[in-house]
Structure 1
Amino acid sequence: MRPVPRHEEEEKDDAGISTKLTLLRDPWSFKKQLKASDVDGSSRLLLAASFVHDHVLKEKGEEMVGQVKSRAGKKVPVWDADTSSKHQLTFGCWESTNGYVLKGSWKPQFVIRRRLVVGDEIGMFWDEREQMFYFKVLHKVA
């Protein structure tokens, strides 16, 4: 029997119950490598329509869908998981392309504050219970 390296040992309490945490799935259902239009241009982050349809607006009432597709959009909280901070953005739909965006203070609250640049990879998911997006920088370019 080979010795188990320290990093592979499971911690167990007095009752023999493991405290090792194993994630069963990747929570970041939306991943994006940032483009120039996400960080340099207007203050908005373009979201994939498939992500929005499958993970955010799926089985939503007409009220929320109507707010998102309205000219004003819907104010939503966005939790930055890296800095444990909450920010308000507007979740909306661009009629010309039927694309979805997070806009408003995207640039100052995320691009500038987090020093995001072209090529950085971000992850997001929608928390149905909390009714907010969660955001994380998954990879920074060197």
Structure 2
Amino acid sequence: FHCETSDGETHLAKKRKLSLQGTKKNNVCNAVPAIVHVPLPVARRPRNWNCSTGLELFDDPWKIKKVLKQTDLGSNCNILIKRELAKDFIVPVLGGRQICENRDVRVPVWDLDTNSVHSLVFTIRPSNQSHVFKDTWIRDFVLRRNLKIGDEIGLLWDQYNGQFVFSVLRAYCCHQVRGDQH
């Protein structure tokens, strides 16, 4: 609390002034300063710093992820994309269902890991409505990158360059422990 004296000074200010005057003798300050107690505020109000303290995780850019299976690496020469992922992240950027359903759509694919551009064909098969990338998938990706069953790949759409971006997100390592053979 603060008490005002008759001359308008607060009690605390007057105490501080007297304390400082008492420590000076012959223009020499004593080494020990006077202790002044400052009262704590009665109520603490929360401060608004205009910033969020909530935790925000970054959005994973790899919207299309796939762990490769034998069918993706085999003689079919294509990679099957889940229908939901294709409808959400591929078909809209290639012009809609009418365009993709009636014809093959050639798309550039940039391999982020090797900094090389390739071309794949996206199609929706009319027989079973499966969504696939085909054409040079085996040559340009499976063989060139030595992809194996269990590797996880990712695809995303680069809207600024009008192309898909490909990356091997995780290479599958299968270590077999063999017994000692004598």
TM-score after normalising by structure 1: 0.75
Q: Which has the higher strand share?
A: 1
Q: What corresponds to 2:145 in structure 1?
A: 114
Over aligned residue pairs, what C-alpha RMSD do you find? 1.9
Deviations 1:19-46 (A, max 9, x none): xxxx822110011110100002221011
Question: Unaligned 5+ residue runs, structure 1?
Answer: 1-22
Q: What corresponds to 2:69 in structure 1?
A: 35
Deviation at 1:59, TM superposition (A): 7.6
Moved over 3 A (4+): 58-61, 64-67
Question: Unaligned 5+ residue runs, structure 2?
Answer: 1-56, 174-182
| Equivalent of residue 82 in structure 1, options 89, 96, 113 | 113
Deviation at 1:68, TM superposition (A): 1.9
d(CA) in 1 for partners of 2:93, 2:164: 17
Q: What corresponds to 1:133 in structure 2?
A: 164
d(CA) in 2 for partners of 1:49, 1:42: 18
d(CA) in 2 for partners of 1:40, 1:82: 23
Relative distance call for 1:92 and 1:60 in structure 2 (3 A) is closer
Letter in 2 for 1:74: V
Aligned length: 117
Q: What corresponds to 1:65 in structure 2?
A: 97
- The alignment-based identity, stated in percent, is 38
TM-score after normalising by structure 2: 0.59
Relative distance call for 1:59 and 1:110 in structure 2 (3 A) is closer
